[in-house]
Amino acid sequence: MTVKKTFPKILWLIVSSSIFFIILYFALFYYTKKAEKEVYKDSVEHFDNEIHKLLDLESKPVLVAINNDSNWDEFVNFIASKDKVWFDQTIGNELEIYDAEYLGAYDAQKNFIIRTPTPRIKTLDFIPKKAMDLLDKEGIKKFYLKIPEGIVEVTGAAIHPSDDPLKNKTKTSGYFFVVRLMDKEFFENLQHITNSKIEFLGSNVVIKEEKNKIATAFQLKDSNGKVIGQLLFQRNFEIYFENTINLLYIIIVTFFISLLVNLIYTRRLVYYPLDLIRRVLETGNKKAIKLLKESNGEFSYIGNLFEENNNQKLELITAKIKAEESDRLKSSFLANLSHEIRTPMNAINGFTDLIINTNINETEKLEYLNVIEKSGKNLVSIIDDLIEMSKIDSNQISPNYTVVNLESCVSELYETIKVTIPKKSIEFILIKSSMPAEFNIITDDIKLKQVIINLLTNAIKFTDVGMVTFGYEIDEKNEQIHFTVRDTGLGIDEQEHQNIFDRFKRVDSDVSIKVGGLGLGLAISKAYVELLGGSISLESKVGKGSTFYFSIPLKYAKVDNIMVRPVNNLEVTKSDSKLILIAEDDNINFLLFQKMMQHKNYEIIRAINGREAVEICLGNPNIDLVLMDIKMPIMTGFEAIEQIQPMRPNLPIIAQTAYSSSEDKAKIEEAGFTDYITKPLDRERLFELLTKYL
Total count of domains within the chain: 5
Please report the pLDDT score of residue 604 as a whole number. 92
- Indicate which CATH number applies to the domain containing 121: 3.30.450.220
Inform me whether the pLDDT recorded for 628 exceeds 80.
Answer: yes
What is the rounded average pLDDT for all residues in the chain?
78
Q: Are residues 292 and 322 in the same domain?
A: no
For residue 139, the model assigns a pLDDT of: 85
Residue 585: CB atoms within 10 A of its CB come to 17
Domain-located, residue 29: no
- 8 within some domain: no
Domain boundary among 199, 220, 236: 236
Could you read off the pLDDT of 370-429 as tens digits, one per residue?
A: 778 777 776 776 676 666 666 766 676 778 788 888 888 888 888 878 877 766 678 888
Instruction: Provide the phi-psi class of 115: left if phi over 0, else alpha when psi is between -120 and 50, else beta.
Output: beta
Report which of residues 586 and 1 the model is more confident about.
Answer: 586
Look at residue 382 and tell me if it is in a domain. yes
Q: 505-529, pLDDT tens digit by residue?
A: 555 554 454 444 556 778 888 888 9
The pLDDT score that the predictor gives to residue 106 is 92
Residues 229 and 125 in one domain: yes
What was the pLDDT predicted at 606? 93
For residues 386 and 406, membership in a common domain is answered with no
Sheet holding 556-557, edge to edge: 402-404, 440-443, 556-557
HEC profile of 216-277: EEEEEECCCCCEEEEEEEEEECCCCCCCHHHHHHHHHHHHHHHHHHHHHHHHHHHHHHHHHH
Based on the fold, state whether residues 195 and 46 are members of the same structural domain: yes
Residue 54: which H helix or E strand, with range?
Answer: helix 2-70
Inside any domain, residue 501:
yes
Cα–Cα distance between 383 and 680 in angstroms, integer?
12
- CA-based nearest residue to 470, from 488, 452, 454, 458: 452
* Residue range 475-487, pLDDT digits in tens: 888 889 999 999 9
| pTM, rounded to two decimals | 0.40
Residue 600, classified by CB atoms within 10 Å of its CB into exposed (0-12), middle (13-18) or buried (19+), is middle
Mark whether 216 and 320 lie in a shared domain.
no
CATH at 480? 3.30.565.10
What's the pLDDT tens digit per position in 174-220?
Answer: 999 999 888 888 888 888 888 888 888 877 777 777 767 888 888 88
In a domain, 390, yes or no: yes
322 contacts: CB under 8 Å, gap ≥ 6? none
CB atoms within 10 A of CB 196: 22
Q: Looking at the structure, do residues 83 and 133 belong to the same domain, yes or no?
A: yes
2 falls within a domain: no
Stronger pLDDT, 245 or 115, i.e. the higher one:
115
Q: Which domain holds residue 371?
A: 304-396
Minimum mean pLDDT range among 44-48, 97-101, 206-210, 583-587: 206-210
Give me the pLDDT at residue 249, please. Answer: 65
- Position with higher pLDDT, 680 vs 147: 147
In a domain, 570, yes or no: no
pLDDT tens by residue, 326-377: 666 666 556 555 656 766 676 677 778 778 888 888 887 787 787 787 777 7
Same domain, 132 and 225: yes
The pLDDT value recorded for residue 388 is: 65
Any domain includes 567 = no
pLDDT at 3: 43
More confident residue, 9 or 226: 226
* Residue 548 sits in the same domain as residue 667: no
Please, which pLDDT band fits residue 21 given cuts at 50, 70 and 90? low
Instruction: With cut-offs at 50, 70 and 90, classify the pLDDT of residue 568.
Output: very low
**Are 56 and 204 in the same domain?**
yes
Same domain, 444 and 587: no
Please check whether residues 217 and 254 belong to one and the same domain.
no
- Give the integer Cα–Cα distance in Å for 461 and 395: 30
Please say if the pLDDT value at position 564 is more than 50: no
